[in-house]
Amino acid sequence: MILRVTLLLTLGLTFSAPGWAEVPEECIQAPQRQAYCPHTLYRVARVAVPSLAINEGGMVCLCLSDLTDLPVARQQSAFTEIAREYALPPLALYQLLRIPAPEWTESK
């Protein structure tokens, strides 16, 4: 009986509301996306995303389908458009993804 009570208390504390508070409700994605993002990634933010109330070190959700499944010719315009939607420089998107940024991001 004591084991069962301990287990229930542990589960209750693990899955309580404060434990879910850090998970963002909105993912960074293309502004024109209407459907659910098929490939999302949650990770610790290396930069703040003020428009989503995410501080550096907080949890961020990224729609990889909109950020990485792009032809090279479309990458600059897509990243610029998405960054503008979230009031970020395009370089910040690369920092959130933790991938090397191309040279064009340095000028924006």
Of 107 and 26, the one with more pLDDT: 26
First to last CA, the chain: 62
One-character DSSP codes across 77-102: HHHHHHHHHTT--HHHHHHHHTSPPP
72: helix, coil or strand?
Answer: helix
Please list the alpha-helical segments (H only) found in 31-71: 64-67
pLDDT for residue 107 is more than 80: no
Rg over alpha carbons for the chain, rounded to the nearest Å, is 18
| pLDDT, averaged across the chain | 83
Question: Per-residue pLDDT tens for 47-94?
Answer: 999 999 999 999 999 999 999 888 888 999 999 999 999 999 999 999
